[in-house]
């Protein structure tokens, strides 16, 4: 609820593959605990234009994707797309560079909220 900023009126889209723990947390547990709708998109291959078109077309309010995906999205330059419902963006995993944060903000007007989770805190 706090990091993803989810409410019962939100639609959450997490692009994590179902083989990753992030999929369970970002696509099942967190949204459902908050009563949010979960958006699912069959996307066999990551394509920035498909992500941008999906965010433009559907009423997704919260978007979570990997830092690498955000890097690819800003390189694609999503400034020509309109995301009318999107209000909260999150990422986790490897650190996201300040340049990507800045470019995303310029291109979309939105901040990216970064965190790390269980898989990033384990020491062997």
**Which residues neighbour 28 within 8 Å (Cβ) at sequence distance 6 or greater?**
38
CA dist., res. 124 & res. 113, Å (int): 27
pLDDT tens-place string over residues 77-121 = 999 999 999 999 999 878 899 999 999 999 999 999 998 766 655
CA dist., res. 59 & res. 83, Å (int): 8
CA dist., res. 43 & res. 13, Å (int): 12
pLDDT tens-place string over residues 44-85 = 889 999 999 999 999 999 999 999 999 999 999 999 999 999
**Residue-number span of the structural domain to which 98 is assigned:** 11-115
User: How many structural domains is the chain composed of?
Assistant: 1
User: What's the CATH number where 89 sits?
Assistant: 3.40.50.980
Q: What is the pLDDT of residue 21?
A: 64
Identify whether 122 is part of a domain: no
pTM: 0.89
Identify whether 121 is part of a domain: no
């Amino acid at each position: 609820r706090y990091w993803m900023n989810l409410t019962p009126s939100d639609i959450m889209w997490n692009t994590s593959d179902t083989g990753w723990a992030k999929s369970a947390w970002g696509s099942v547990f967190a949204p459902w605990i908050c009563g949010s709708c979960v958006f699912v998109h069959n996307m066999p291959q990551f394509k920035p234009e498909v992500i941008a078109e999906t965010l433009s077309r559907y009423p997704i309010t919260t978007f979570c994707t990997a830092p690498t995906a955000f890097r690819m999205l800003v390189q694609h330059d999503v400034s020509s797309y309109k995301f009318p419902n999107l209000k909260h963006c999150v990422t986790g995993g490897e650190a996201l560079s300040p340049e990507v944060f800045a470019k995303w903000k310029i291109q979309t007007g939105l901040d990216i909220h970064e965190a790390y989770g269980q898989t990033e805190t384990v020491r062997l």
